[in-house]
Each structure stands twice: as structure tokens, then as C-alpha cells.
Structure 1
């Protein structure tokens, strides 16, 4: 499966809000770093984070573009509320080994009526 195909399937699982299925796309020692949050290491921790996030807010990923360069896939996305973001996925042996995402956390929290952390 090409990296762009892995990411397209990952988006389908994400849109089902199925943390177990989403986690199945990651290598056991994968790293997921959404720059608005702390880095997460390992499939188990990644699944746990998605369980928490899916329980907190209804999220939908609308693909704008998926680009591929060797073992990298780049996802440009938006959601129905107008939030936009970009994700970079490194795929090896059909599994995500590294993911980095860029999106506006403050806008996300406001759109979903979630508390804004006070530092």
C-alpha cells in the first residue's frame, strides 16, 4: 500500500471515530506529534489519545489534498466548521512511524465550546 493510500484509509477510520481502527495504522513505536499538544510515543498511547479526543468532540476530516514523496504522505484537510490543517505522515512497511500535524488549537477549542487552558 502506498503512503497516500495508508493516509486515505486512516482518514476513513478517523471519520468513523474508531480509535482502535485508527491506532491499527501505526507502528508499535510510532510517534504522533500534533504541534499544539505534547508528543505521543507508541501505538497504545496514540490509541488512548484518540479515544479521549473522540469522546471530547465530534471531529470530521475533509481531505483537500494528499501528496506523496517516497515514504512520506502530506495531508491537507479542513473540517465542516472551517478549521484547516496539515499533517505529515512517514510510512514504513505500511505503518505510520511518524506523524506531525499543524492546526489552530485555540480555534478548535472555541468552535467546540471546550475550555481554554489558562497558563
Structure 2
């Protein structure tokens, strides 16, 4: 079974290839991915679909600034080529991501990719 930091390295590699299937393979079937700017996504299949939709909407690149491991958790501090920054927390159990939470500026992301900004 992979240690959390190794799983996270695989996650970054798959993300930078825009490979939703390889990403989904890293998640537990009942995993939750909660990007706090959005509603939580529950289940490996829904997470794969989320990544497919996101990769279709924008070219995304994850440049690792820091990567840490603490017990069952891996922590990623990242940036992208346009200067957007964020961080993610990955709870890894038995070599699979069971829970992920990410923090980033959704408004800056939408504007940088010329995507529609939701109205209140």
C-alpha cells in the first residue's frame, strides 16, 4: 500500500496529464472530495466525472510548492503558471484517498480562464 506522500505524487502526475481515470483510481470507492469553493463530491465515479468536466473547461497545471506527510495525511501547497495558489489535504487509508479538502480562490480561477462568474 502506498504511503500518503507517494499517493499524492501520483495524484499530481495524473492531474498534470489531465487524466481523470488515473486520478479516480487513487480514490476509495466512497471517497469525498470537498473543494471548499464548491459542494462536496461523493464517490469515486462522481470524482472522476468532476475531473473530466474540469479538464474539459480549463487547462490546469499543479506546480508543487510543498508536500508534507503526517500519519495518514498528505498535504499539498501548490501554485499554477498564472499565479493562483492553494492547498489540499488528502486523507489516505490503505493506499487510497478517502477524503480530500482543497482551498483556493475560485473567483480568480474563473477570471483567469475566462469562465462565467456565478451571480449571487
TM range (shorter): over 0.9
TM-score, length-normalised on structure 2?
0.98
Could you tell me how far 1:2 is from its partner in structure 2?
A: 1.2
**1:46-91 CA distance string (max 9 Å, x none):** 0000000000000000001110110000000000000000000000
Secondary structure in 1 aligned to 2:88? strand
Q: Take 2:27 and 2:3, find their aligned partners in 1: how far apart are those partners? A: 14
Number of aligned residues: 119
Partner of 1:104: 105
Secondary structure in 1 aligned to 2:111? helix
Secondary structure in 1 aligned to 2:83? coil
User: Stretches of 4+ moved more than 6 A in 1?
Assistant: none
Partner of 2:69: 68
Partner of 2:82: 81
Confirm whether residue 117 of structure 1 aligns to residue 103 of structure 2: no
Q: Take 1:64 and 1:118, find their aligned partners in 2: how far apart are those partners? A: 32
Secondary structure in 2 aligned to 1:114? coil
Secondary structure in 2 aligned to 1:118? coil
Q: Take 2:9 and 2:106, find their aligned partners in 1: how far apart are those partners? A: 23
Q: Take 2:41 and 2:101, find their aligned partners in 1: how far apart are those partners? A: 10
Structure 2 stretches lacking a partner, 5+ long: none
Summarize the alignment of residues 10-89 of structure 1 with structure 2, pairs less than 5 Å apart. 10-89=11-90
**1:6-57 CA distance string (max 9 Å, x none):** 0011000000001111100000000000000000000000000000000000
Output the aligned Cα RMSD.
0.4
